[in-house]
Amino acid sequence: LAQGSHRFEWWHRRADGTEFPAEIWLTAVEVSDRRFIQAIVQDLTERKQIEAALAERANLAAFRADVGSSLTESDSLQTILQRCTDAMVAHLNAGLARIWTFNPETELLELQASAGLTTSLGGDYSRIPLGFASIGLIAQQRQPIMTNAALEDPRIINKAWVQQHGLIAFAGYPLLLGEQMVGVIAMFAREPISDSAFEALQFASSEIALGIRRRQAEQALRDSEVRFRTIFEGVAIGISLTSLEGEILQVNPAMLKMLGYSEAEFRALHFSQFTHPDDIEADLSLTQAVIEGRRESFQLEKRFICKDTRIIWSRLTLSAIRDPEGQILCTVALIEDIDDRKQAE
């Protein structure tokens, strides 16, 4: 204090014992050849509250942004959910953050992501039945749980672990799409969880539930495509997909082998070019009835003209492929070689 002023921040205690943050300016002054210390004290309670509110708002905004960007990534579901739990630790001050998905076949919640105190996906809480502990209750009742007194809450069963790690608060939210249970998101914290943080968790739950369902649907589609491709390429009967204008969209190896064309050659043809002239009229009439929705499918014995000009008999089964709204997209034809039978007859 030899010269100038000096600023400090510390806590002061009032006469009633309550404490408050204060800003103090200390200045050395001289009055009539005597030196004094002048102290100016300002209560910072309101300013600190505003700063804390702004910091929390920025944290919550960053949390929402991190969750939103994670859900747009093309990584695996576990990687995406891990980023979401990392964001909970970074921005919601979670001591432990976890996400489970619900498996309707086993009726178990399966741990997919964990951040904070542990990143392990094993252990006692990796598979949780409905109704067991706080996580199972959230899923069973489809209701969130929040408490800032975890040690006193009967829904928190592992109190020794909670106390060991200095955790005082818990928040969990069901991941729902309408009435459909998708999973549970939950966190433990060493500080009280504010209403704003809980609202951010609620917001994230809706986004994450949608992201999980989208990923699961994408995986189911990939699995379906693999199964279709395996059948399409490996089955012994011919299969072709044809547009409503008669353009060949897809053809399988069995069909190409039957008629002797390469895929490029076959897809360049119109179906009338490899159909016997005497069978075109019946084929066109029945196909048009399927395209117009007057019948779902038909079966017809017809003759095909092979690339080497041989004529073979086949049994054609043709059906419409529709989109989810019922509109016809194209037709699929199953072609079975019955030439040997027809020759015998």
pLDDT at 225: 87
Phi, psi of 123 (to 5 degrees): 100, -175
- Structure confidence at residue 43 as a pLDDT band (50, 70, 90): confident
**% the chain with pLDDT above 90:** 53
pLDDT at 68: 81
- Structure confidence at residue 49 as a pLDDT band (50, 70, 90): low
Residue 204 burial (CB count, 10 A): 26
Residue 86 reports pLDDT greater than 60: yes
Give CA–CA dist 136/55, Å, rounded.
33
DSSP assignment of 269-289, as one string? SBGGGGB-HHHHHHHHHHHHH
Residue 45 reports pLDDT greater than 80: no
pTM of the entire predicted model:
0.62
The average pLDDT across 88-96 equals 90
pLDDT tens, position by position, 254-279: 999 999 999 999 988 888 889 999 99
pLDDT at 64: 80
More confident residue, 246 or 318: 318
The H or E element spanning position 159 is: helix 159-164
The average pLDDT across 281-303 equals 93
Measured between alpha carbons, how far is residue 168 from residues 21, 83, 93, 149 in Å?
Answer: 24, 24, 12, 6
What is the β-pairing status of strands 145-147 and 297-305? unpaired
Give CA–CA dist 295/287, Å, rounded.
9
The burial of 85, by beta-carbon neighbours within 10 Å (0-12 exposed, 13-18 middle, 19 or more buried), is given as: buried
CA atoms within 13 A on the CB side of 23: 9
pLDDT tens, position by position, 106-129: 999 999 999 999 999 998 899 999
291 contacts 319 by C-beta, under 8 angstroms: no
Residue 150 reports pLDDT greater than 90: yes
Out of 63-77, 90-104, 215-229, pick the least confident: 63-77
pLDDT tens, position by position, 159-209: 999 999 999 999 999 999 888 999 999 999 999 998 888 888 888 888 899
Residue 146 burial (CB count, 10 A): 17
Residue 59 reports pLDDT greater than 80: no
pLDDT at 323: 86
- Structure confidence at residue 321 as a pLDDT band (50, 70, 90): very high
Using alpha carbons, select from 259, 263, 254, 248 the residue that is nearest to residue 231: 254
**% the chain with pLDDT above 70:** 96
- How high is the mean pLDDT of the chain? 88
Length of the chain: 345
Residue 333 reports pLDDT greater than 90: yes
